[in-house]
Amino acid sequence: SGGRSAVFTAIVFVLTSGCRWRDLPPSFGVSAPTAHRRFTQWTEAALWRRLHQAALDRLGAQGMVDWSRAILD
């Protein structure tokens, strides 16, 4: 149930709102088990790290990242 875009939106909602997976509103068009399963799969596939790096690369190329304030660990 639910396409990738709907699943992605539902996952971001859960992660940013503090909503529990089981309380995911049906308006997302994705069941809670599906959203959680995809979150787990995408986490194991390092999708979130790759998305973060892609966003940084794009913003950096546009001069929108102040690397002087970056902290490396």
Q: What is the pTM of this model?
A: 0.77
- In 1-73 the beta strands, taken as DSSP E runs, fall at none
pLDDT in tens, 29-57: 999 999 999 999 999 999 999 999 999 99
How far apart are the C-alpha atoms of 13 and 29, rounded to whole Å? 13
Q: How many residues does the chain have?
A: 73
Q: With a cut of 90, say whether residue 71 has pLDDT above it.
A: no
Per-residue pLDDT band for 68 (boundaries 50, 70, 90) equals: confident
Q: What pLDDT band is residue 67 in, cutting at 50, 70 and 90? A: confident
pLDDT tens-digit map of 15-25:
999 999 999 99
Which of 67, 9, 62 has the alpha carbon at shortest distance from 39? 9
